[in-house]
Structure formats: structure tokens, C-alpha cells
Amino acid sequence: MRNEYLVESDYSYAGSFKNYKTFDFMTEIGIGKDSINQRAAIQDAIMRRMELQGYKYNDNRPDLLVSYKMFYGDFNFYGYNQPDFENWLVYESEEEAYNPVTYKMYEGTIIVILWDRKKRRVVWQGYATTMFGNPYQNEKYIKWAVRSIFDQYRIFGEELAVQNRLN
């Protein structure tokens, strides 16, 4: 159903989420139709959200590498039906099953991927489709989609955790 809003995420049971403190952006390849303004809006929204959640930007050996992509056509996306991320973080079992699920994605989909630099693997991906429809719309809709994606990544970096312990 095209009018249905979908914001979802998947994560790796091998992710060390409680240990990540820093991030940087991967060099984007295949940017295709993305305008400089769109890429800047997405990257700025991701940067603000990561810093808000306590992560520090570091371009020298960061814990996480961030990549993102906008899509300009409809497609099927294969993700996983998993335990709630926050609940899973309590016990962090790598024994959980990955239950595949297929999502129908539409024009204007944004996907954000977090890579563990040391493990060289994707540890989390979030995606929003039909959140802003036409990918050529203004930055407001792009920022809204990125915020909605990061609402699925409810974990905070070390800087915020230390601050909370001091209060």
C-alpha cells in the first residue's frame, strides 16, 4: 500500500553497541541523482542526531562508519523481524534467529547504515519509505525522514552515558 509509512531497522547480533563512541562518514559511491544539497541535508541530519545521542565525530579510526543512500524508484528490500532493539540490548544474545521479511519500498526511500569499522560489518541499518515521497522535495522532508530513522536507534554514545553518571 503506497500511502503506508514505513520506518524500520535491523541490527546485527554481533554488534558491540555499548562500546561505540565515535563515528565518521564513508566516502559515498554511486551517488547518481542525489544533489549536493540533498547529500548535505542527509549528512547534516545524521551528524546532528549522532552527536545528540552522545557520539563524537572522529575521522581518525572511528568506531562506526556511516553510509546512506536515497532511492529514486520502487523496489523490494529484505530485512529481518527481530526482537525490539532496546530489549535485545539488555541481554545481547548472539543466538537469536534472523527471521527474514520483505518490505516494499517506494520512490524517496532513505537507508542509513552503520558499519563497525573493526569488525568490517554492518551492525545496524534503518530505512524510511514514503516519508517524504518525491526525493526532489526540500530539505525539511529529508531531515524528517532521517530523524524518523534514528528514532529506531535508541542507544547513546559514551559521552552522554558518562554525563548521565555524573548527574
Domain boundaries, the chain: 6-166
**Cα(112)–Cα(81) distance, rounded to whole angstroms?**
18
Q: For the segment 114-165, what is each residue's pLDDT rounded down to a tens digit?
A: 999 999 999 999 999 865 555 556 677 888 889 999 999 988 776 545 544 5
6-166: in CATH 3.30.160.670:
yes
What does pTM read for this prediction? Answer: 0.85
- At 36, is the secondary structure helix, strand, or coil? helix
**Cα(111)–Cα(125) distance, rounded to whole angstroms?**
7
Alpha helices in the chain (DSSP H): 36-52, 85-91, 139-150, 158-166
Q: Do 123 and 15 meet the contact criterion of CB atoms below 8 Å apart? A: yes
